[in-house]
Copies of this chain bind each other. A is one copy, B any other.
Amino acid sequence: MLKGFEATAVPMGAARDARAEIEAFNAEYAAVLDAGQVDAWPRFFTSDALYRITGRDNADADLPVGLVYCEGKAMIEDRALAIARTMMFAPRYLLHQVTNVRVLALADDAIAATANYALYETLVDARTTLQQVGRYYDRFVRRDGALLLRERHCVYDSLIIDTALIYPV
């Protein structure tokens, strides 16, 4: 478990609404990545957002950095741009399954939540493989009625990951 993501008491009705909203958000987020529209990916984040991909061993040891670390939307956009150019050379299909949404804290327009994900990858002429499983640790805020990510920590279980991993999760 990531520090600062402890479960707190959340009223049942409010938690249910927040879960439904986060599920819809995660489905949109995954659809953009799965369609290869990495240029549209930064729009899910606030301008001061933190985006990180790290291993569960790192997260458990409370190590801040990881495989990918973006501080601020400008860095997230930079990364998206770099990937959009690189991906041309390595065509593959991606598919996310995002499940097990938990609402950990809910205050005003801020929500702390987690979700479990599995990411499948299919290279041309190859069988589908499980690229990684892991958990999102998220902080959402509401802007103009819609949720945005202020923090997304993608904490993967899989200790051996294809070193070519550059695409967001």
Contacts and interface: CB of A to CB of B under 8 A. Distances in A.
Interface of A: 1, 12, 15-16, 19-21, 23-24, 26-28, 30-31, 34-35, 56, 93, 95-103, 114, 116, 118, 120, 122, 124-128, 130, 132-135, 145, 157-160
B157 A128 contact: yes
Contact of A133 (B19, B95, B126): B95
Contacts of A24: 15-16, 19, 102-103
Contact of A100 (B98, B130, B133): B98
A139 B51 CA distance: 35
A157 B102 contact: no
Number of copies: 3
Given A20-B20, A118-B120, A159-B124, A27 B130 contact: no
Contacts of A122: 56, 133, 157-159
Contacts of A120: 118, 130, 133, 157
A8 B34 CA distance: 18
Contacts of A102: 24, 27-28, 31
A127 B130 CA distance: 10
A123 to B, nearest CB: 8
A26 B93 contact: no
Contacts of A34: 116, 135
Given A23-B19, A128-B130, A100 B30 contact: yes
Contacts of A160: 125-127
Given A28-B102, A98-B100, A122-B158, A128 B135 contact: no
